[in-house]
Amino acid sequence: MNRYHLADVYYPIVFKYDHQELMLDSDEQKMIEFHAYGLGWDLLKLKLNWFVDPIEINLKSKKRYKYLLTSDIRPYLEDKLPVVEIRYFSSDTIFTGLDKVKKERFKIYVDRDYSFLDEDYKIDGNIRINPEYIIATGPASIMDTMSHKILLKLSEKNISDAYKETISISKSTNSQIKYNTNKVEVSFNVTKHKRPFTE
């Protein structure tokens, strides 16, 4: 461990940015990979992330936010790691995972298969949903691929009276998408089917 060695090292990076304008498209920790030369003990600590403080890079004043050149990051690393020599980087570019924050209205619907109604009943009038729209916030690249509709399924069965309940909205399958509310109120009236006259 007291000899000099070469090793591939991954080092964590934290980006500082305007959270009103940008957001990460995943929760994954950003790392930069490089080939380092140094004492075995120092390299081992780096490889095991012992006593490692992430590099903080401020992107608030930079026009470019989707990626950085490793040559831009090198001075930060050399300042953090004076005990090792950085020979080369495994890539000349590191992608930040940052994207523009986007907000969209998502319309709420109730599943119209009506399996929640008693077989002798039907909806009288319209199904009322309050609020009718919710606001979803997330990375623009993800939001642009999503349907802007949320379908609710009622858990009640055999409904034969006027209905009014607060329904929970399931979280998005993508953890980066957040809704401004997770509940809506659903209400409607029902009426009995008119049976055809038979002798």
Helix (H, G, I), strand (E, B) or coil at 76: helix
- pLDDT average, residue stretch 187-194: 87
Helices (H), 81-161: 140-143
CA distance readout (Å), 198 to 119, 194, 195: 19, 12, 9
Size of the chain, expressed as the number of residues it contains: 199
pLDDT of residue 49: 77
Rounded Cα gap, residues 151 and 157, in angstroms:
17
- pLDDT average, residue stretch 157-169: 91
pTM, two decimal places: 0.75
Please list, in sequence order, all residues whose beta carbon lies within 8 angstroms of the beta carbon of residue 148, skipping any fewer than 6 positions away. 104, 105, 106, 107, 136
Counting residues of the chain whose pLDDT is more than 90, the rounded percentage is: 48
pLDDT of residue 189: 94
Number of neighbouring beta carbons within 10 Å of residue 62: 13
Q: Is-contact 146 105, C-beta < 8 A? A: no
Residue type for 41, please? Answer: W
pLDDT of residue 41: 84
Residue 199: pLDDT over 80: no
Helix (H, G, I), strand (E, B) or coil at 180: coil
pLDDT of residue 196: 55
52-89 confidence digits (pLDDT tens):
889 999 988 777 889 999 998 999 999 988 888 999 99
The two tokens of residue 93 are: 């570019």
